Amino acid sequence: MNRPVHRLLFATLILALMVGLAACAQPTPAPTEAPAAAEPAVKDLILATTTSTRDSGLLDALVPVFEGQSGYTVKVIAVGTGEALKMGEEGNADVLLVHAPASEKELMDKGFGKERFLVMHNDFIFVGPADDPAGIKGAATAVEAMQKIAAAQAPFASRGDDSGTHKMELNLWKKAEVAPEGEWYIETGQGMGATLTIASEKAAYTLTDRATYLATKSGLSVEILVEGDAALLNVYHVITVNLEKWPKVNYDGALAFAKFLTSPETQAMIAEFGKDKYGESLFYPDADKTDADLGL
């Protein structure tokens, strides 16, 4: 081999070695981090619900957990169930948490609700003054209690607001074959907490959900007089507003909230809510049941 060729081969080998060493010296690329969870496209979520879920404190316990997990910001509008259903029908809410099964079914039949899931229940109770002027304590049924109150014309505070509680009350008056009217019948036009306060101030009877009563009873002078009738079952459903009716509703957020309420983790929270403070649950989880299981 002549000298020029030898030098060329030597130079080529040296260059290849240098390139190899440079490649080995390159730092190893850092591993790519897992992408963060996607932020919801529309963060604001309007929840139309009953005053009982607010007054009992349940939403104060659940909503922050949902917001932290999902990235949504929930605007809670607590009104009577009738008004909440109307908000859904008019597209002014994204998701509903309500407790008037017959009216809920009407909303679904009209196509304004897309999904409806069973969430929980508690019960209605009659409360009134300890001296019980109408003698309803120990009444076998809610209807019997209503008949005794009407016969005595004892003061009765009605929410009068088309709420789920008001709907239940009117249904019971109808079954009792009583038309409630007169000075003894007080329509407050307010939520459950305010109506309980009025009943307490006026030594009147009223129908209330157990959760709101237990959450506010320390400031009241009324006590439980009638409870346990199967007719007083108080069942809550969550309903997503139909995107096909109202294209601007936050359906993704509504469905996320519905799934949150019915998840095993949230159902366990509902089962425990109130036990530490009141010695009993204020609500009983039902996501693993059907309406038929509850006699609806």
Q: What is the pLDDT along the chain (296 residues), one digit of tens a residue?
A: 444 444 444 444 444 444 444 444 444 344 444 344 567 877 999 999 998 899 899 999 999 999 999 999 999 999 989 999 999 999 999 999 999 999 999 999 999 999 999 999 999 999 999 999 999 998 999 999 999 999 999 999 999 999 999 999 999 999 999 999 999 999 999 999 999 999 999 999 999 999 999 999 998 999 999 999 999 999 999 999 999 999 999 999 999 999 999 999 999 999 999 999 988 999 999 999 999 999 88
pLDDT at 38: 64
pLDDT, one tens digit per residue, over 222-262 is 999 999 999 999 999 999 999 999 999 999 999 999 999 99
- Domains in the chain with CATH codes: 44-122+235-294 (3.40.190.10), 123-232 (3.40.190.10)
User: Apex CA 144: angle with CA 214 and CA 208, to 5°?
Assistant: 20
Helix (H) or strand (E) holding 75: strand 73-79
Exposed, middle or buried, 47 (CB in 10 Å: 0-12/13-18/19+)?
A: buried
Residue 234 bridge partners (DSSP):
122
pLDDT at 39: 75
* DSSP 3-state of 207: strand
* DSSP 3-state of 96: strand
Residue 74 bridge partners (DSSP):
45
Residue 254 and residue 95 in contact, taking contact as beta carbons nearer than 8 Å: yes
Structure tokens at 33: 């981090």
